[in-house]
């Protein structure tokens, strides 16, 4: 039976075996189909060459590290983006001409790409850094929160509260120094995302002073983000 | 260092025990057992990650798609009728979701970006990039040349070790279509692979 099959090798059998080669290689064929391919490749040099090639390909593919592939694909996308904006040269790329970067309201000069990626992730969470605990606490304190004294105080407070993210996690002493340098004090933080809430001066501090403080903070090499808390979240 | 061939000798996803375990987890999930569902989720996370990535080529929304897929699994666990393998069912959902996402991504790129495929991946003509496709990059370049459907067949055959009949079930297409897609895909892969070899 088998020997007659071998002798009857014809175009359609070749086609069938040829088509089945990938599944012969991945060992998923049932016994019947497996035998068809196995017998056919004994006599068909074309299929043997193809089998050899696909096997090498299969091995190579199996050895490819997924993470490496992910990084190549990600980089290819980045490359595409850069190449389609050729007018943005290396020297002026930090002037944020790319639409996607406008989202970040501060300068990126001293950020490498790695830092940038990690930063982007933490910034996504920045808009509501304390959301979780305020969300949990709020129902309980709702009654007290609505007293006149509390509500007016909280409105005043948000005008001079700044949210800050520090680069490379400086120690608490360094943070203290930076915060003191703009007459601020930490009122909350760090959140799980490394966000600090800092009050600048006292309730009499005016907008100009707070803005000055924000600019000075942004100039500081250890500060990667400084922004008025008020615009970012209304939950606190 | 060469990875031992052991990896290719087994079909890690399709053993009888594995299937039984997955069926059990699905029926537990159908009964509302969150712990069992979480186990199923963990069991499938890597597999789905790889599967979806290789089809849609975009890394950024994979977790979202995985959660979309597993949400359907959780919601529809009670209707899973056990006639197909658990993996056929789950990968089938993942296939549809990632195909949708892949099409969306391609459309988005086509609309917003003008670029030359060849130039993009053989950047020696662009001069600003490294002058040749590196070893590790060849697969990336080759896969990019395939359609999402062809990539899906390659993924399911060479990475997930599935039989073409299962692939046709997952993709909801005739078996011959699976073979045809594989036929074109392997021609392209082979071309890139040989090119790589002739250089080294
Ligand atoms: Zn043949």
The lowest-confidence range among A127-136, B104-113, B134-143 is A127-136
pLDDT at A145: 39
Mean pLDDT across the stretch A69-88?
67
* Final residue in a domain of this structure, among A18, A34, A63: A63
**A73 in any annotated domain:** no
Calculate mean pLDDT across residues B33-46: 92
Are A223 and A217 in contact by the 8 Å Cβ rule? The answer is yes
- C-alpha A223/C-alpha A217 separation (Å) is 6
Residues of A in contact with B101 (CB under 8 A): none
H-helix or E-strand spanning residue A133? helix A131-145
| Closest CB to A23 among B3, B144, B164 | B164
Residue A33 and residue A75: Cα distance in Å, rounded? Answer: 42
- Cβ–Cβ < 8 Å for B51, B170: no
d(CA A179, CA A161): 12
Q: Choose among A23, A73, A83: nearest Cβ to B59.
A: A73
- Mean pLDDT of the B21-29 span: 95
| ipTM score for this prediction | 0.74
pTM of the full predicted structure?
0.54
- Per-residue pLDDT tens digits for B86-99: 999 999 999 999 88
CA distance B30 to chain A (A): 30
Indicate whether A61 pLDDT > 70: yes
Residue at A194 is within a domain: yes
Which architecture does CATH list for B13-109? Orthogonal Bundle (1.10)
Average pLDDT over residues B3-30: 73
Tens digits of per-residue pLDDT, B137-157? 778 788 888 999 999 999 999
Give the pLDDT score at A57: 87
Main-chain dihedrals φ then ψ at residue A53, nearest 5 degrees: -65, -50
Task: For residue A165, give the DSSP letter.
Answer: E
**CATH code of the domain in which A216 resides:** 3.30.70
Sign of CA dihedral A23, A26, A28, A30: positive
Query: Of residues A64 and B191, which shows the higher confidence score?
Result: B191
User: How do residues A153-170 score in pLDDT, each as one tens digit?
Assistant: 344 456 788 787 777 666
Which one is predicted more confidently, A212 or B170? B170
Spatial contact of B30 and B44, defined as CB atoms under 8 Å apart: no
On the question of pLDDT at B78 being above 50, the answer is: yes
Lowest pLDDT segment from A52-56, A70-74, B111-115: B111-115
The packing angle between helices B16-30 and B62-76, to 10°, is 70
Domain annotation covers residue A102: no
Q: What is the pLDDT of residue B3?
A: 39
Write out the residue range of the structural domain in which residue A169 sits.
161-228
- A84-122 in b/e form (b: 16+ CB < 10 A) is eeeebeeeeeeebeeeeeeebeeebeebeeeeeeebeeb
Domain residue spans in chain B? 13-109, 133-200
What is the predicted pLDDT for the residue at B73?
Answer: 94
- pLDDT class of B40 with cuts at 50, 70, 90: very high
What is the sign of the dihedral through the CA atoms of B162, B168, B174 and B179?
A: negative
Question: Taking CA A53 as the corner, what is the angle to CA B139 and CA A22, rounded to the nearest 5 degrees?
Answer: 80
| A210 located within any domain | yes
C-beta separation of B26 from B77 below 8 A: yes
Greater confidence, A225 or B177? B177
Contacts of A135 (CB under 8 A, 6+ apart): A235
B193 vs A contacts (CB less than 8 Å):
53, 56-57, 60
Does A119 fall in a domain?
no
Kindly determine whether residue A80 and residue B115, on different chains, have CB atoms separated by under 8 Å: yes
- State yes or no: pLDDT of B70 exceeds 60: yes
Position A134 in a domain: no
Please report whether residue A153 resides in a domain: no
Q: What is the fold of B133-200? A: Arc Repressor Mutant, subunit A (1.10.10)
- Is residue A201 within 8 A of residue A161, CB to CB? The reply is no
Into how many domains does chain A fold?
2
Looking at chain B, the whole-number percentage of residues with pLDDT higher than 90 is: 48
pLDDT number for residue B74: 92
Do the beta carbons of residue A68 and residue B168 sit within 8 Å? no
Angle at A22 between CA B172 and CA B142, to 5 degrees: 85
How is residue A82 written in tokens? 């850069």
Chain B positions touching chain A (beta carbons under 8 Å):
2-3, 5, 7-9, 11, 49-50, 53, 57-59, 109, 113-115, 120-121, 123, 126, 128-129, 136-137, 139-140, 144, 154, 157-159, 161-164, 166, 179, 182-183, 186, 189-190, 193-194
- Chain B residues within 8 A of A72 when measuring between CB atoms: 136-137, 140
pLDDT > 90 in chain A, percent: 18
Per-position DSSP letters for chain B, written without gaps between them: -PPPTHHHH--TT--HHHHHHHHHHHHHHHTT-HHHHHHHHHHHHHHHHHHHHHHH--STTHHHHHHHHHHHHHHHGGG--SSS-HHHHHHHHHHHHHHHHHHHHHHHHHHH----HHHHHSGGGTSSS-SS--GGGHHHHHHHHS-HHHHHHHIIIIIT---HHHHHHHHTS-HHHHHHHHHHHHHHHHHHHHHHHHH-
Please report the pLDDT score of residue A236 as a whole number: 35
Helix axes A148-158, A131-145, angle to 10 degrees: 140
Per-residue model confidence as pLDDT tens digits over B118-135: 333 333 333 333 334 455
Single residue among A44, A63, A82 that ends a domain in this structure = A63
């Amino acid at each position: 039976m088998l020997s007659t099959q071998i002798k009857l090798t014809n175009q359609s059998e070749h086609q069938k075996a040829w088509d089945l080669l990938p599944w012969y290689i991945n060992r998923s064929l049932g016994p019947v189909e497996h035998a068809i391919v196995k017998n056919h490749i004994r006599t068909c040099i074309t299929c043997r060459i193809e089998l050899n090639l696909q096997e090498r390909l299969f091995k190579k593919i199996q050895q490819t590290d997924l993470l490496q592939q992910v990084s190549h694909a990600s980089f290819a996308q980045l490359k595409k983006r850069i190449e389609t904006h050729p007018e943005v040269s290396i020297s002026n790329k930090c002037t944020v001409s790319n639409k996607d970067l406008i989202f970040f309201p501060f300068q990126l000069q001293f950020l490498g790409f790695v830092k940038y990626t990690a930063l982007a992730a933490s910034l996504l969470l920045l808009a509501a850094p304390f959301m979780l605990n305020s969300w949990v606490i709020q129902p309980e304190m709702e009654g007290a929160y609505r007293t006149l004294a509390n509500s007016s105080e909280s409105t005043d407070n948000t005008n001079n509260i700044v949210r800050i993210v520090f680069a490379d996690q400086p120690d608490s002493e360094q943070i203290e120094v930076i915060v003191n340098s703009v007459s601020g004090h930490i009122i909350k933080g760090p959140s799980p995302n490394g966000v600090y809430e800092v009050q600048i001066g006292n309730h009499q501090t005016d907008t100009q002073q707070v803005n000055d403080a924000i600019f000075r903070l942004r100039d500081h090499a250890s500060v990667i983000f400084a922004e008025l808390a008020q615009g970012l979240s209304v939950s606190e | 260092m060469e990875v031992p061939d052991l990896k290719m000798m087994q079909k890690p996803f399709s053993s009888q025990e594995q299937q039984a375990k997955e069926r059990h987890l699905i029926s537990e999930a159908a009964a509302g057992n969150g712990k069992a569902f979480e186990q199923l989720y963990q069991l499938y996370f890597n597999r789905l990650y790889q599967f979806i990535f290789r089809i849609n080529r975009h890394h950024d929304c994979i977790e979202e798609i995985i959660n979309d897929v597993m949400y359907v699994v959780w919601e529809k666990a009670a209707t899973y009728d056990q006639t197909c393998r658990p993996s056929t069912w789950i990968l089938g959902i993942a296939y549809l979701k990632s195909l949708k996402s892949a099409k969306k991504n391609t459309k988005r790129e086509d609309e917003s970006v003008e670029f030359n495929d060849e130039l993009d991946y053989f950047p020696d003509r662009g001069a600003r990039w490294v002058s040749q496709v590196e070893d590790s990059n060849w697969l990336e370049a080759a896969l990019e040349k395939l359609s999402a459907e062809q990539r899906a067949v390659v993924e399911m055959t060479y990475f997930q070790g599935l039989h073409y009949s299962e692939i046709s079930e997952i993709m909801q297409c005739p078996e011959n279509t699976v073979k045809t897609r594989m036929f074109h895909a392997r021609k392209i892969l082979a071309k890139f692979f040989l090119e790589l070899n002739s250089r080294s």
